[in-house]
């Protein structure tokens, strides 16, 4: 997949939210691959343990909540 540059001139919060959503999606995908299919199976500790395995920094509590919300869809 080709990476496009992000649009310039948007508020900093937009870029932070965008990157947080991408990180949450990567973590949710990795959790699904390990067999965690329900939000109750994805505690903060488990999400943070998966992060180094896929090459991202440990997520914040907000990102962990986003991961659980993605799993609940």
- Judged by DSSP in three states, 2 sits in coil
- Judged by DSSP in three states, 58 sits in coil
Picking from 35, 53, 18, 37, the residue whose alpha carbon sits closest to that of residue 68 is: 37
Using CA atoms, how far apart are residues 15 and 9, in angstroms rounded to an integer?
A: 10
pLDDT at 2: 86
Using CA atoms, how far apart are residues 51 and 2, in angstroms rounded to an integer?
A: 23
- The predicted-structure confidence for 20-67, as pLDDT tens digits, reads as follows 999 999 999 999 999 989 999 999 999 999 999 999 999 999 999 999
8-state DSSP, 41: G
| Residue 6: other Cβ atoms inside 10 A | 10
pTM over 0.95: no
């Amino acid at each position: 997949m080709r990476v496009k540059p992000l649009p310039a001139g948007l508020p900093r919060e937009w870029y932070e939210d965008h990157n947080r959503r991408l990180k949450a999606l990567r973590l949710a995908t990795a959790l699904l691959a390990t067999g965690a299919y329900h939000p109750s199976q994805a505690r903060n500790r488990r999400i943070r343990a998966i992060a180094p395995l896929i090459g991202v920094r440990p997520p914040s509590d907000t990102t962990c909540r986003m991961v659980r919300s993605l799993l609940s869809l």
